[in-house]
């Protein structure tokens, strides 16, 4: 069996697949045009968030049996179409949980104390002690949109800081340490709102201008989940108007995100979709990718 590695994958995972008798071709910088030419020769492919697997690519992949997404979200894959062609689609949902949860909590701290802005001020040779009065996290309410693995991991960490966690998730009835509430209650009660949902028709722009009108004045918004779940133009307007006190973004409606007007605002901080980009998470993702590829072809 022949597997194409389309995005960066831990070397140990490549070695494990090769040791299992799978022919592994590592092309982590493969372009969309190259994929169209190469993929018909392969039985499996491994992707991260960079590679898009849409219907035209699936149509030419006449020998493809399995797609493994290293990570959680499957929005870069036309899953139902692939399945209609007899292609199995797998992901690694647990491997990056801790890394994404830790980045989220890091952003909560950074927003509360404006750490990046203070650093920039110091690097500019300033001593603006009176300009950076922060706020404590103890006693504040963290509102989660999504209470899956990562949302629950964020809530667990937040509880150690003395925060109260509430969450909206129509697919979760109860979660330890979290009060399940309606979406409107998250908007009206939360001091911090953190999104941990996929980008689906149900969640697309779940925070838009109408939602922002319902939120508590001075809220801070964090999105380390999926781009497209926050209306970025509406968020820009809300920060400019002072309705939203700050935002931290790791994911965007369009990636790579270069020069969005949000980053003209001092109250916005962010990163280039690095939630799972830790050595530990990458190792776990790679191990799970290898396990799923090996298991799939062994069972066949």
Active centre residues (catalytic): 226, 255, 273
DSSP state of 259: S
Cα distance between residue 19 and residue 73, in whole Å: 28
Cα distance between residue 212 and residue 234, in whole Å: 8
Residues pairing with 289 in the sheet: none
What is the DSSP track for 129-196? GGG------TT-EEEEE--SHHHHHHHHHHHHTT-EEEEE-TT-S-BTTBEE--HHHHHHH-SEEEE-
Contact (CB, 8 A) for 270 and 121: no
What is the DSSP track for 12-80? HHHHHHHHTT-EEEE-TT--HHHHHHHGGG-SEEEE-SSS-B-HHHHHH-TT--EEEESSS--TTB-HH
Report the SS3 class of residue 261.
helix
Cα distance between residue 212 and residue 26, in whole Å: 44
DSSP state of 222: E
Task: Report residue 40 as tokens.
Answer: 């018909």
């Amino acid at each position: 069996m022949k597997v194409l590695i389309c995005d960066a994958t831990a070397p140990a995972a490549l070695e494990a697949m090769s040791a299992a008798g799978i022919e592994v071709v590592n092309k982590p910088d493969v372009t969309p045009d190259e994929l169209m030419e190469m993929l018909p020769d392969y039985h499996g492919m491994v992707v991260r968030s960079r590679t898009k697997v849409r219907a035209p690519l699936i149509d030419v992949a006449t020998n493809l049996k399995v797609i493994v997404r290293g990570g959680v979200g499957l929005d870069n894959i036309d899953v139902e179409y692939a399945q209609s062609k007899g292609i199995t689609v797998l992901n690694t949902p647990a491997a990056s949980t801790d890394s994404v949860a830790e980045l989220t909590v890091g952003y909560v701290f950074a927003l509360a104390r404006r750490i990046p802005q203070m650093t920039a001020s110091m690097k500019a040779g300033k001593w603006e002690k009176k300009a950076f009065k922060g706020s404590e996290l103890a006693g504040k309410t963290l509102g989660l949109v999504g209470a899956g693995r990562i949302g629950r991991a964020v809530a667990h960490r937040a509880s150690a800081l003395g925060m109260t966690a509430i969450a909206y998730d129509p697919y979760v009835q109860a979660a330890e340490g979290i009060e399940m509430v309606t979406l409107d209650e998250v908007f009206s009660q939360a001091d911090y709102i953190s999104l941990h949902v996929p980008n689906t028709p149900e969640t697309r722009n779940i925070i838009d201008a109408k939602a922002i009108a319902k939120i508590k004045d001075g809220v801070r918004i964090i999105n380390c989940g999926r781009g497209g779940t926050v209306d970025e133009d509406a968020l820009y307007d809300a920060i400019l108007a002072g309705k939203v006190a700050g935002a931290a973004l790791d994911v965007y409606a369009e990636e790579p995100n270069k020069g969005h007007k949000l980053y003209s605002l001092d109250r916005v901080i962010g990163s280039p979709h690095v939630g799972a980009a830790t050595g530990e998470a990458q190792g776990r993702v790679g191990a799970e990718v290898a396990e799923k590829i090996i298991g799939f072809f062994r069972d066949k």
